[in-house]
Amino acid sequence: MALQRLAIPAAKLLRSKSHIVPGPLLVTEHFFQVPLDYANPSAGSITLFGRSATKHEVPIVAPDEPPPAKPWIVYLEGGPGFGNREPQDHTLTRAAVSRGYQVLYLDHRGVGLSTPVSTAMLARLPGGDGPNAVDVQTSYLKLMRQDNTVRDCESVRKLLTEGLPEHKARWSVFGQSYGGFISTSYLSLHPEGLREVFLTGGLPPVGKTPEQVYEATFQKTIERNAVYYQKFPEDVEVLRQIATYIEEEGGDQGLPLPGGGFLTVPRLLTSGIAFGSHGGLDHVHAVLVHLKASLDQFGFLTRASLAPLEAFTAFDTNIIYAILHEAIYCDGPGSASNWAANRVGKSLAQYPWLCRDNTSVASSASPGQPLLFSGEMIFPFHFETYPELIPLRGVAERLASATDWPALYDVDQLRKNDVPVYATSYINDMYLGYDIAKETANLIKGIKTFETNTMYHNAVRVKPEEVFQNLFSLRDDVID
């Protein structure tokens, strides 16, 4: 499947400001300008935001010449939909700086501070609140996937490395989760810009349909549900008690939430998205403990008990995560998601609550049998229960039925890849599917992979020393 390779101009630096933070680190805030649509440069521009970090050094004797620039490594966050933490709060910073890199944390287009997408922002696009609003907003959102993020990276790279010889102008990238999808698209589209690639839980499902992705991830989610109820068997009845209350008090629409939107039983059950992360089982259990305590003590759900659940997933402040989640699996023309997660889930006997003909989710499971949580899936009801997503239901439907997606990966290029790639792959990864990740690893020529069944998807944050030690050993060590 042919990729669309476009001319990439160097980004324009709008402004930058440096400051020193304890550590010591020299942190610089950058605002760049790049085209909104690289295929149509006249369509306007967007702003990208990034923070760079390098070691702050105070020389004993002032050097005669400034030291040479350190090589860049760019961190690509997961999601899609989330911006970066500040460098001093990021686990990669110390590991990379100590190895001689300067790190760039670049927010993907549409997220963080990079012209962030919101419902209000989409409505303010030219024509975004008129009779063709759905068309306008859909067209804009289609430009927010990983192929254009790669082009953004290349545009910024050309600016930051201007004047350097070609071998020094390449940079390294570090992709976590969805950041690995971007990195693999980078290897496909512009390998000439890359020195090396690091991936953690980010080998994408190259050549797989959205349905195949969710068939794999639903099965892993079912396994994680079994682990959850083995650890917290009392939650079988706790969850049923809470679900019964929500249905009796909230009716078909659900319980109004303090911050807007509605709590339904299906929305509650999507909190199983946490099961794929370190600490996720305990996180969900803590939410249920709080809800049950409120019901037992007061007979209703207090605002304090609802607050942790309301903030459980940040779809209201990071709408791209919800509205483009299935789109990142649509690789080329003819690939439509058509709410793939919803369709796959409804076909599974373990998820009767996804079927609309059930009048009661609480009673959909047999007595003594647990209601199963879902995982990293987006369903149509997300656009009925989250206040920021409710106005976007029409746009979400249009994106789900879209078939004109550009290709994201070049299998032939990956098979002849000559960029060093080092990947951490989690055997028990609930969000990706180990077998799919393994197939992708087998496609990429020269990749070196560290595989483990002792870590989960967010290990780069929870067990960074182990992750970095193994990744950089792949880079620096030799085969014994």
The catalytic site residues sit at 177, 429, 457
CA 450 to chain CA centroid, nearest Å: 21
Cα separations in angstroms, 7 against 10, 148, 308, 414: 10, 12, 46, 21
Q: Are 277 and 224 in contact (CB under 8 A)?
A: no
Q: Which helix (H) or strand (E) holds 51?
A: strand 45-55
- Residue 141: which residues within 8 A CB-CB, separation 6 or more? 110, 117, 122, 320, 323, 324, 395, 399
C-alpha–C-alpha distance, residues 117 and 389, integer Å? 12
- Residue 260: which residues within 8 A CB-CB, separation 6 or more? 316, 387
Provide the angle, in degrees to the nearest 10, between the axes of the packed helices 280-298 and 210-231: 60
Whether the upstream peptide bond of residue 41 has omega within 30° of 0, thus cis, is no
Beta strands in 258-391 (DSSP E): 262-263
Torsion sign, CA atoms 176, 103, 172, 74: positive
Whether the upstream peptide bond of residue 80 has omega within 30° of 0, thus cis, is yes
| Nearest of 163, 170, 175 to residue 79 by alpha carbon | 175
Give one DSSP letter per residue of 213-245, joined into a string.
HHHHHHHHHHHHHHHHHHH-TTHHHHHHHHHHH
Cα separations in angstroms, 277 against 57, 252, 271, 284, 426: 37, 32, 12, 11, 11
Both tokens assigned to 14 = 């709008």
Other beta carbons less than 10 A from residue 63's beta carbon: 7
Single-letter amino acid code for the residue at 463: K
C-alpha–C-alpha distance, residues 291 and 312, integer Å? 13
Both tokens assigned to 277 = 């992360």
